[in-house]
Structure formats: structure tokens, C-alpha cells
């Protein structure tokens, strides 16, 4: 074997017994001019390796598209939670301010009462409104953080949302059990929770959250 062949053993074509110029981008074997090299995506391949390399590149491109984050579905759930948080914030702020400044609750039309009711005429009415308003503000803040977390594909946001969805399923199961024992009650079906559990456990959706460290 010639000396230059030994020095260039890594780029020596065994098929045509001559020095090769490129390594194949798919199999790694040397490619010489007589191999009829195929150029693809700034790489050189054997003719028989080119179709496999092209298929591999197409699959890689498809995988990158699949895990592009956030996907439209994730954006939909994120904005749905954020909008819900904004509505809850407005309601909580209204109740909280009304509990501090309100003097009279317009319950006459709602309760068909012959006399208007004062907020202080209801035992603990002002305290109840204050707590409801405060809880509305707190949960609206948590909802906004959760929605933003989903938009940024934070793994913790996905886990929290799934925990809340499973809690809804468990609570519905307990209600069904209570109805079965007592014999009456209102049936609840956790449709939204079921959709959330199904959607956020899909492999393509999980990949979006696994990318964020």
C-alpha cells in the first residue's frame, strides 16, 4: 500500500482504491470522485446514502416543527386562563371596594324584599364580601402567573394545571359518591378538566415544556 494511502487512511476509498476527499455525512465512509458523490445541505453523501440522509433531515425538520413552542393549542389555553384571571380580578376588586365603601346592597329586586337591605343588616355581610373580594384578587393573580407560565412553556405551569384538573376530577368523583349514598344532589361532569388532562399529556405538547430548563 502506498505511503500516502497509509497517511490518509481515514480518507481512502476502499471501493475504488484511491484517496477520497470527503467523509460521507450519513455513513461516515470516505467518498471519492468515482463514487459519484451527492451534495445535500452542505454535506457530501454516497448515492445510496443520500435518500436515507434526506429522509433523516426531513424527519428532523418535522420534529422541530412539532415541538415549536408555544403551539396554538397551548396559546389558546394560556390566553383563556389569562382572560379569566382578568375577569376575576375585576370582580374581586369590585367586591373588595364595595365591602369597604358600600352602604347599601341593591338586593330588593333580586330577593323581592319589600325593603332595601343594608350590607350591615346581613350578619357578617361586609366580612363575607371582603373575603370574597380578597380571594378573587389572590386567585386572579395566581391565574395570571399560571397563564404567563404556559405561554412561556414552563414545566411547573403545566404540572400545576394538571394537578388542578385532577383535583376537579377527584372532587367530581366524591360528589358522585355522595349522591349515590344520600340519593340526591347535583351531578357534576369534569369536562374541562378532562380536556386539559388529555391535551397537556399529548407527546407533542409535553415536548414543548420539556425544552424549557
pLDDT at 76: 94
- For the chain, the average pLDDT equals 82
Which of 25-34, 110-119, 159-168, 179-188 is predicted least confidently? 110-119
Tell whether omega for the bond before 70 is within 30 degrees of 0, i.e. cis.
yes
Question: What number is the average pLDDT over the span 171-184?
Answer: 90
Confidence label for 5 from pLDDT (cuts 50, 70 and 90): very low
| pTM exceeds 0.75 | no
Whether the Cβ atoms of residue 79 and residue 144 lie closer than 8 Å to each other: no
| Crossing angle between the packed helical segments 155-182 and 203-210, to the nearest 10 degrees | 130
Which of 115, 116, 91, 113 lies closest to 103, judged by CA? 116
Residues 103, 125: contact at Cβ < 8 Å?
Answer: no
Across 191-195, average pLDDT? 94
Res. 9: pLDDT tops 60 = no
- Using the predicted structure, report yes or no on whether residue 49 has a pLDDT greater than 90: yes
C-alpha count within 13 angstroms, C-beta hemisphere, residue 63? 8
Kindly list the domain boundaries of the chain, sorted by start residue.
Answer: 3-59, 72-152, 153-213
Percentage of the chain exceeding pLDDT 90: 41
Which of 154-160's residues contact partners 24+ apart within 8 Å by CB, and which partners? 154/209, 154/212, 155/209, 155/210, 155/212, 157/209, 158/200, 158/206, 158/209
The answer on pLDDT for 175 being more than 80 is: yes
Residue 106: pLDDT band (50, 70, 90) is low
Q: Quick check: 61 pLDDT over 60?
A: yes
Beta-strand ranges (E) seen in 9-155 are 12-13, 18-19, 22-23, 30-31, 38-40, 43-45, 104-105, 117-118
Checking if the pLDDT of 80 tops 90, the result is yes
Task: State yes or no: pLDDT of 204 exceeds 50.
Answer: yes
Query: If pLDDT is split at 50, 70 and 90, which confidence band does 139 have?
Result: very high
State the alpha helices, DSSP H only, in 30-71.
50-66
The arithmetic mean of pLDDT across residues 81-99, rounded, is 91
Is the Cβ–Cβ distance between 155 and 213 less than 8 Å? no
Confidence of residue 3 (pLDDT cuts 50, 70, 90): very low
Amino acid at each position: 500500500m502506498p505511503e500516502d494511502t497509509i497517511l490518509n487512511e481515514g480518507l481512502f476509498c476502499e471501493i475504488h482504491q484511491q484517496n477520497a476527499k470527503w467523509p460521507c455525512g450519513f455513513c461516515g465512509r470516505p467518498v471519492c470522485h468515482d463514487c459519484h458523490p451527492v451534495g445535500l445541505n452542505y454535506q457530501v453523501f454516497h448515492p445510496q446514502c443520500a435518500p436515507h440522509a434526506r429522509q433523516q433531515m426531513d424527519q428532523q425538520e418535522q420534529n422541530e416543527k412539532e415541538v415549536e413552542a408555544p403551539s396554538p393549542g397551548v396559546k389558546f389555553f394560556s390566553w383563556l386562563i389569562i382572560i379569566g384571571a382578568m375577569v376575576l380580578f375585576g370582580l374581586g376588586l369590585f367586591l373588595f371596594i364595595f365591602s369597604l365603601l358600600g352602604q347599601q346592597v341593591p338586593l330588593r329586586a333580586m330577593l323581592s324584599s319589600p325593603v332595601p337591605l343594608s350590607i350591615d343588616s346581613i350578619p357578617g355581610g361586609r366580612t363575607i364580601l371582603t373575603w370574597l373580594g380578597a380571594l378573587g384578587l389572590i386567585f386572579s393573580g395566581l391565574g395570571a402567573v399560571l397563564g404567563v407560565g404556559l405561554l412561556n412553556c414552563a414545566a411547573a405551569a403545566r404540572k400545576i394545571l394538571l394537578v388542578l384538573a385532577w383535583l376537579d376530577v377527584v372532587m367530581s368523583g366524591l360528589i358522585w359518591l355522595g349522591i349515590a349514598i344520600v340519593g340526591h344532589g347535583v351531578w357534576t361532569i369534569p369536562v374541562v378538566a378532562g380536556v386539559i388532562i388529555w391535551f397537556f399529556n399529548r407527546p407533542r405538547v409535553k415536548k414543548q415544556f420539556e425544552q424549557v430548563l
